[in-house]
Structure formats: structure tokens, C-alpha cells
Amino acid sequence: MSVQSAFQDEAARIEDVLGQIRRQLLAIGPRYTGDDFTEQMLQLQREQRQQRLEVAEREPYFGRIDFQELATPQPKPLYIGKAGVAHESSKELLVVDWRAPVASLFYAFSGGEAPITYESPEGEIEGTIHLKRNLMVRGGVLERVVDSYIRGEKDESVTDEFLLYRLGENKDNRLRDIVSTIQQEQDRIIRTEKNKTVFIQGVAGSGKTTVALHRLAYLLYRYADRIRAERMVIFAPNRMFLDYISGVLPELGVGDILQTTYNEWAIERLQRSVRLDDSSDSMAYWFEQPRTREEMEQASGRIKGSTAFKEAVDRRLQELESTLLPEQPFEPIPGMTLQPSAIQDWLLIEDSYEPFMKRRERLVNRIKRWLESEWKARRINDRPLKSKANARLNAYCKKIPSFTASQLYSEMLSGADAAELIPAKSRAATVKALKKNLAEPEDLAPLVYIQLRLYGLDQPVYDHVVIDEAQDYSPFQLEGLRLCQLHSSMTILGDLQQGIHRYAGIVNWTELTEVFDAQEQDYYELDRSYRSTMEIIEFANRVLGSMGDGVKPAVPVFRSGEEVEISVFDQEEERLAEAVRTVLDWQSQGSYRTIAVLARTAIACSVLAARFAEEGVEASLIQSKQEAYGGGLTIVPAYLAKGLEFDAVLIADADAASFGDNDGKLLYVACTRALHKLKLLSCGPLTNLLNAELCN
């Protein structure tokens, strides 16, 4: 078939399918607003169907795969889209949802005539692929048809022209879905079964965040009868990042998933009994002044987040367990005695997995009931006697220890176990702050863990947990999150090479993988970077390489762009003028939708922002508590840009004074934010991280 007639056939089919979708949308009818519960449920289902059809109306499908099952006479075309659509009368599938088992063929197929299989609910299905086709539909009109495989005609591995086209586009202020171009290695992760903890170590721009969001959409589809969006949670580093990723899930037809930061979530779990100490901005402490590697690795946050510290907390909780059983008998009036052995019997038949304070509460109630039954059995009605006995009861129950999380943590910090791990000064400061209900971020993991062990979870357990930028998490944080699930079902993603928060995070993944049972986890590595051009990736790889051995370079996709530029100036004034000139030049070209000027510190960013304002150039200056990211021209400290991406990036202070020898990861993060264009400026000598070779 000629290319032209293939295009015409596909265009005609698109029209047919769009007609179907529009008719089905019209048939949904008016919204029900009454009080009938059944009708309300039906209305909810209609709304969900309407949302799916609206998604399909924007772009009915993006791919076609012709698959011939073994023992069938003909290949069957399958059209893959964001939402499945069936014919209104025949119920034949016009569009297959990208998450359906058969759609995995579209992503897993990489050329060749060999048989291929997919896992259907009925078991493994084997067959052969006859055609793999990408279709681009915009505003209901078919714009492009690209065949990446035709059986018998081409026998080369699939070259993804479509992917390169998508990657070459400019970005706005939101991350977007990638359903039409999910790569084989990403698809494998997305479709991993539910009851696993999936670790993803991926280089910058390898699609970790995107993959995790698609995995949520996949899980909700695949396990629709078992899991619910309201029982899923995504942890991201800050509010601005959450704003940046907020468009992906709705576009995939997913709503209601809690998206939060660890600190906010932890404060909620502690029922707001503590607040974060605003006066100590830990980011400013670690990033506004040069800090040594030793300072970072010996920081109290690393100790408080460690498994050793968690074990010390466990020992204290274990001790507490043993105090639940009173040593003395309870004698409310002479001759009426409850022996510890009887209390022990009650405790033995109880569920010992219940949190301590719940068991304590139950025990106190049990003792009260025992007293009531004794009164009845002995027919005692003497009021003064009873009130005396009640006073004894209260005194007796008070002796059974009772703690808030904050009290137990403070008590523990004052004990010998903690003294072995944490310096006295730091412990004293924490105890003092806790008296005023103030905590540092590093105290939240122990506090939440103690809270959960003492009181249990104050909400339904989570069906799935996603942790982005997990290299900045501690084992202790994960231990707490594990207590919020029945089975560990988590997606934990990050990049050690971007581990700039070493004062709180991990140095290697085993620190986190050890938290989970080896059988219950999968570990994946993503090496291909999709964000940046080859030139930018190769440049960033050399920055990483300057840090010595053990680094894993990112593998670029074959997308070539402009060379990375470096300009060195003697005078500060010249550097600032060049920064403004560069941005104005980029803006006048009109080829970039998002531009970022990055600098090492917030102070350096303020200087730049003032200069841009003087020159009348509108820019938004990002600060650490920023809630939203608006796109356009942004000035942002490198450490706050992690996770974000921009069409063009100017690193305004790549000099030795700003980026010291320990700042390789930070500079790597900064460089890898750029999609198409990267330029670096320095006043005085360039940072050593950009070695002589780069300056040529």
C-alpha cells in the first residue's frame, strides 16, 4: 500500500471514530442533581465515562499495531489511545486503552519477525507483528503517519522518528504525559505488578518522574477493583515541583491522588502537635555557604535518619512494651484484688500488633470493667467506698506509662542509647525546641515513626506510595511509610548522581533497599536521557566525570543541537551585562518558551533579579517556599531547580568562587535542566569542575 493511500485510509478512520466519540458524548445526557444515592453513583460513572471520551476526542489514538495471534488467519489492527473506546452498538473495540495488556505489544516490540507474547488475563498470548505505526492527530485532524515497522518490507530495528520529534518540541510550565512514546525500558517499570517495591535509579532526564506518574495510572486501571486513587500518595520535594507535575495525572484520566511533601505529610500525621522551626532554613544553611563533604556526611540529619538510630528507637519502644503489664496488684478496697497475672492473661489474648497506646487504652477500660463487675458480684453500692476506689483506680492506671510521640522522643534523646549516636549539643537543642512544639525536618521521621508505633495510623492504609527524589530520603523515613501500608507497594525513584542533599539523604541505594524484604522488591536502572540534546548530555557527563570514579554517564538519545557555550569575564559588571544580553537574545529569537537563569545561591539570584529588573526584563525569582511555577523567564538557585526543566538554561556563575570542588553534583543538576540550549558564564576563573578540555 502506498504511503499516500495509507494516510487517506487512516484519515477516514479517524473521522469515523471521532463521529462515534461525539455521538457517545451527546448521548450521555444531562447531569443528575437529585438526592437518590443510586442515581448519584450512576452519575459518577457517567462523569468518568464523559472524561474518558473527552480525552479521546482530543486525540483518539496515537498508535496502531497489527497483531496476528497464533492459529488465526489474519493480523488484526489494534489502535492504541489514552482511553479505550468501544463501538456504540457492536461494542467492538475501536481504541484500546494504552494500559490494556495487549497494548504492551506496542511498547515492547522492537522489530524483527520473531514471535512475540503478551500476558492476557487468560494467560500468555503469542503471535507476530505485521505493522507498527505512529499517528499524530491534532485538533481532530490526522497530521502525520509514520510506519516504524512493516513485516517483510523492512527488517531493521525500529528507529523512533516520532520520539525525536516529540523531544525536539519546546516545553511549557508543566510536565506532560508520554503515552505515545513510552520506551520499552520505561514500559517494563510502569507495568510491574502492584505488590512490589520498585526502586528506579535513573540518570537526569531519564523520565523517572514521568514513569512513576504513568505507573499510578496503570495500577489504577489494572487493579481497578482493589485499589483506589484516594488511597495513593505522591511525595515530591516541594510545592513548586508538585505544581509542575500537576498536569500529567488529569491528562491520563486520574484524579484524587494525594500529592504532598514529606514534611507536610509528617506534620499532619503528628496531628499538628509540632511545627517546623521557621527560623532555621536548612536549605539556606547547606547551600548559601560552601560546606565540606565531611560536614554533610556527619550531619545530625544523617544520624537521625539512619537505621542505627531507628534501632535505638525500636529498643526504647520494646522497653515500653514490657511496662504495659503493671508490677503491683490492684486493690481498690481491702480484700478485692486484681493480680498482675490476670492482667497478663488479658494481654496475651489481645492482638499484640496493635499500637501501644491503643492497647493501653483497652487495658485501662478492661480494668474499669473488672471493677464494675466486682461491685455487681459483691452487691456493693456504698458511694463513698466506690469513689475512694475510683481514686485508687485512677492512680493505678496513671502508673501505666502514657506518652505523646514528642514526649517519648525527648525522653529518648536524653537517654544513653541516643547519647552514643548524637552529640549532646544537638540533642539538647532538639529537646529544648520540642518543649515549644518546634521541630527540625530531621526530627520528623523519628517522630512520625514513634507516633505510628504508639497510636497507629489515623487514616486508611495506602494502596500505593510514590517517592520522587528518593536519594534525599533516609531509611528512617521509609520505615515510617512502610507502617502506613499492609503490603509494601511503592515506587521509589531518584538519582544518586543528583544527591545534593547529602546531609539528609543516602549515599547508596542499599541504605533504602535494606528496609524491604529482598523478595518484595525490584530494582531498575534507567541510563538513557530523553530531556537534553546530545551536546548538553555529553557536557554534563564530563562535569560528573570530573568528580572521579564511580559515576555512570547518561546515554543521550540521538538528538543533536547547538554546542554548549562558555564565556569568561574579568569584571562582574561584564558578566551581569552578558546575562541580560543572552536572555534578550534568546527571547528575540522566539524559539524558547521557557528560559531559566540559574545561580549557585539565593543571594546570587537576587543580584541577577535586580539587574534584570533595572533593564526592564520581566522575570520571576524563585524562592525556597515558592508554591507555583509559572514558566516564562525564571531566575532560580540551582538547588531549587532540581526536577524542573527549561528549553534554555543560562548558568550565570560557573566560576571557581561559586562552584567549589565539592559542587559537582549541583553543577550536574544545573546543566541537566536544559532541553535545547545551555550557556555558562563566569567572572574570574571557571570552576575546576569544568576542566581545561571544556574551555577549548
Ligand X SMILES: Nc1ncnc2c1ncn2[C@@H]1O[C@H](COP(=O)(O)OP(=O)(O)OP(=O)(O)O)[C@@H](O)[C@H]1O
Binding site for ATP, by residue number, is 202-209
Query: For ligand X, what does the binding mask look like between residues 126 and 165, x meaning CB under 6 A?
Result: -------------------------------------x--
Of the residues 202, 326, 332, 441, which one makes contact with ligand X according to CB under 6 A: 202
Residues 655/531, Cβ–Cβ less than 8 Å = no
Select the residue whose beta carbon is closest to ligand X and give its number: 207
Of the residues 208, 214, 310, 665, which one makes contact with ligand X according to CB under 6 A: 208
Query: For ligand X, what does the binding mask look like between residues 230 and 269, x meaning CB under 6 A?
Result: ----------------------------------------
At how many degrees (to 10) do helices 356-377 and 340-349 cross? 130
User: What are the start-end ranges of the E strands in 261-312?
Assistant: 275-276
- Which residue lies nearer to ligand X by CB, 183 or 474? 183
Instruction: Name every residue whose Cβ is closer than 8 Å to that of residue 511 and which is 6 or more positions away in sequence.
Output: 307, 474, 475
Query: For ligand X, what does the binding mask look like between residues 482 and 521, x meaning CB under 6 A?
Result: -------------x--x-----------------------
- Which residue lies nearer to ligand X by CB, 175 or 452? 175
Query: For ligand X, what does the binding mask look like between residues 641 and 680, x meaning CB under 6 A?
Result: --x-x--------------------------x--------
Nearest Cα residue to 600 out of 669, 550, 551: 669
Backbone angles phi, psi at 506, to 5 degrees: -105, 165
In the complex, minimum distance from the CB of residue 502 to ligand X, in angstroms, rounded to a whole number: 16
Q: Which of these ranges, 203-211, 409-417, 624-632, 680-688, lies near ligand X under the rule CB under 6 A? A: 203-211
DSSP secondary structure, 25-63, as one string: HHTT-SPP-SS-HHHHHHHHHHHHHHHHHHHHHH-S-SE
In the complex, minimum distance from the CB of residue 177 to ligand X, in angstroms, rounded to a whole number: 8
In the complex, minimum distance from the CB of residue 608 to ligand X, in angstroms, rounded to a whole number: 23
For 634, how many CA atoms within 13 A lie in the half-sphere containing its CB?
30
Residue 671 parent element (H or E) = helix 664-671
CA–CA separation, 112 and 105 (whole Å):
13
Residue 134 parent element (H or E) = strand 123-138
Residue 650 parent element (H or E) = strand 646-651
In the complex, minimum distance from the CB of residue 558 to ligand X, in angstroms, rounded to a whole number: 14
- Which residue lies nearer to ligand X by CB, 409 or 473? 473
Of the residues 530, 612, 629, 646, which one makes contact with ligand X according to CB under 6 A: 530
- Which residue lies nearer to ligand X by CB, 85 or 493? 493
Q: Does 205 bind ligand X (CB under 6 A)?
A: yes
Q: Does 206 bind ligand X (CB under 6 A)?
A: yes
Of the residues 60, 81, 127, 207, which one makes contact with ligand X according to CB under 6 A: 207
Contacts for 143-148: CB closer than 8 Å, 24+ residues apart? 145/3, 145/6, 145/7, 145/10, 147/6
Give bridge partners of residue 214 from the DSSP assignment: none
3-state SS track over 167-208: HCCCCCCCCCCCHHHCCHHHHHHHCCCCCCEEEEEECCCCCH
Binding site, by residue number, is 202-209
In the complex, minimum distance from the CB of residue 205 to ligand X, in angstroms, rounded to a whole number: 4
- Which residue lies nearer to ligand X by CB, 250 or 329? 250
In the complex, minimum distance from the CB of residue 557 to ligand X, in angstroms, rounded to a whole number: 9
Of the residues 58, 151, 166, 188, which one makes contact with ligand X according to CB under 6 A: 166
Instruction: Name every residue whose Cβ is closer than 8 Å to that of residue 627 and which is 6 or more positions away in sequence.
Output: 239, 240, 243
For 231, how many CA atoms within 13 A lie in the half-sphere containing its CB?
18
Q: Does 426 bind ligand X (CB under 6 A)?
A: no
3-state secondary structure of 515: coil
| Assigned C-alpha cell, 236 | 515530591
Residues 204/498, Cβ–Cβ less than 8 Å = yes
Q: Does 640 bind ligand X (CB under 6 A)?
A: no
- Which residue lies nearer to ligand X by CB, 125 or 283? 283
In the complex, minimum distance from the CB of residue 179 to ligand X, in angstroms, rounded to a whole number: 9
| Residues within the interface to ligand X (CB under 6 A) | 163, 166-167, 175-176, 178, 181-183, 186, 202, 204-210, 495, 498, 530-531, 643, 645, 672
